[in-house]
């Protein structure tokens, strides 16, 4: 048995990293290891037998990001948490700034440090100069601390290649596993349709954080075009609103055919996939894209931009990739799948 620490910025179920951490923790625990998740934010139940410890940090869009950037200078916080690293056999760290704690734990106590690479934060995914500067510095610190690791894991070939190209760090590729006992074609989605009054409407679904990097505004624009040919269609957006200004922009682009479902607990997601007719995403940066794979596991076709890992994870037999940023092509693909569904 090993004592294992898994470090991540949040364990709240609000993004793919959180859910990968949960899967990793459960798997390591079932193998007989003593597993602790150390995170900055926690409001999701951990797997059975897994402990969660929270590093307190300020809340608020600006102050939280400044705190994360300057974490290596937070000597009091590091001095408080560093002794708690003692005794672990291995640390898996998924994100900066906790990569820094993993690196310090390695230096001080000789703990094996494995960096778990999802993706970088492309500055062009952000709006505004300050946010883009933030993304560049975050990437710099992520890669600097990654180079200090004893080994690395990537969640896709795309992520592997990006890490290798950026810093020359090779990594083992471990694709995210899907629980096919939970995600499968036999699920009844009527409970979701009834909840939102969408009993007979064709439903286009998106699952993920409603933030600029996911390009939700492009998805809404594509849906608005598609709706001209399928007027009864509805777009169901599942995920937290994390940026007030961006959320306002999304609402301005939307009418009552766009449903903002908000955060949905992980255990409820299979019913949302089951309720939809097609899963669509306009994201331009993905290291894996877990919802795409979950939707396909539930037997749903997928429409997405031809970017990042999508060629690895989108099944060409039931999905379609279109050129990046081509909203018209995305709309056309949505219409094509919805018309096929209506004919069926």
**pLDDT, tens only, 123-165:** 877 777 888 888 899 999 999 999 999 999 999 999 999 999 9
Share of the chain above pLDDT 70, in %: 98
In terms of domains, do 168 and 222 share one?
no
> Phi, psi at residue 340, to the nearest 5°?
-60, -40
What pLDDT is attached to residue 245?
86
Which residues constitute the domain of residue 140? 3-173
Residues 159 and 12 in one domain: yes
- The C-alpha atoms of residue 103 and residue 96 are separated, in whole angstroms, by 11
162 and 220 inside one domain? no
**Are residues 19 and 121 both part of a single domain?**
yes
Question: Over 90: is that where the pLDDT of 65 sits?
Answer: no
Question: What is the arithmetic mean of pLDDT over 321-326?
Answer: 97
This prediction's pTM: 0.91
In a domain, 154, yes or no: yes
**Are 268 and 156 contained in the same domain?**
no
One domain for residues 84 and 152: yes
- The answer on 135 and 279 residing in a single domain is no
Residue 83 clears pLDDT 60, i.e. is over it: yes
Are 10 and 40 members of one domain?
A: yes
* Same domain as 285, residue 140: no
- Point out the domain boundary residue: 173, 200, 215: 173
pLDDT of residue 127: 76
Report pLDDT for 341: 61
State what percent of residues in the chain have pLDDT above 90.
Answer: 78
Please compute the mean of the pLDDT values over residues 324-342 and round it to a whole number. 89
Residue 138 placed within a domain: yes
pLDDT of res. 259: 98
Q: Which of 173, 208, 228 corresponds to the end of one domain?
A: 173
Same domain flag for 30 and 154: yes
Domain co-membership, 12 together with 131: yes
How much is the pLDDT for 177?
A: 87
pLDDT at 343: 43
Average confidence score pLDDT of the chain: 93
pLDDT digit string, tens, across residues 4-25:
999 999 998 767 899 899 999 9
Report the alpha-carbon distance of residue 175 to residue 168 in Å, rounded: 21
- Rounded Cα distance between 159 and 30, Å, is 27
Q: Say if residue 113 is in the same domain as residue 158.
A: yes
The CATH number linked to 49 is 3.40.50.2000
Task: Give the mean pLDDT of 13-40.
Answer: 92
For residue range 99-125, what is the model confidence (pLDDT) as tens digits?
999 999 999 999 999 999 998 888 877
Whether residue 188 is predicted with pLDDT greater than 70 in this model: the reply is yes
pLDDT at 227: 97
Q: Assess whether pLDDT exceeds 90 at residue 45.
A: no
């Amino acid at each position: 048995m090993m004592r294992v620490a898994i470090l991540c910025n949040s364990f709240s179920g609000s993004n793919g990293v959180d859910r990968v951490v949960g899967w990793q923790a459960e798997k390591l625990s079932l193998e007989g290891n003593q597993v602790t998740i150390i995170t900055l934010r926690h409001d999701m139940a951990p797997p059975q037998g897994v402990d969660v410890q929270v590093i307190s940090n300020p809340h608020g869009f600006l102050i939280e990001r400044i705190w994360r950037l300057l974490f290596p200078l937070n000597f009091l916080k590091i001095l408080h948490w560093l002794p708690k690293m003692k005794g672990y056999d291995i640390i898996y760290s998924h994100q900066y700034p906790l990569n820094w704690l993993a690196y310090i734990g390695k230096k001080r106590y000789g703990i094996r440090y494995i960096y778990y690479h999802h993706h970088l934060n492309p500055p062009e995914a952000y709006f505004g100069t300050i946010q883009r500067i933030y993304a560049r510095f975050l990437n710099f610190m992520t890669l600097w601390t990654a180079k200090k690791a004893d080994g690395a894991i990537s969640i896709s070939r795309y992520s592997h290649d990006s890490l290798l190209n950026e810093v020359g760090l090779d990594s083992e590729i471990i694709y995210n596993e899907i629980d096919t006992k939970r995600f499968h074609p036999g699920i009844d989605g009527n409970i979701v349709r009834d909840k939102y009054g969408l009993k007979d409407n064709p439903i286009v679904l998106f699952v993920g954080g409603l933030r600029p990097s996911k390009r939700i505004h492009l998805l809404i624009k594509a849906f608005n075009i598609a709706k001209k040919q399928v007027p009864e269609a509805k777009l169901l957006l599942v995920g937290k609103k994390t940026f007030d200004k961006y959320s306002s922009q999304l609402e301005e682009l939307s009418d009552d055919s766009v449903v903002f479902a908000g955060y949905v607990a992980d255990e409820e997601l299979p019913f949302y996939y089951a309720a939809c007719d097609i899963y669509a995403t306009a994201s331009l940066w993905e290291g894996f894209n877990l919802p795409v794979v979950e939707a396909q596991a539930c037997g749903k076709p997928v429409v997405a931009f031809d970017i990042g890992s999508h060629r690895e994870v989108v099944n060409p037999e039931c999905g379609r990739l279109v050129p990046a940023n081509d909203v018209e092509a995305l709309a056309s693909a949505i219409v094509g799948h919805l018309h096929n569904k209506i004919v069926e």
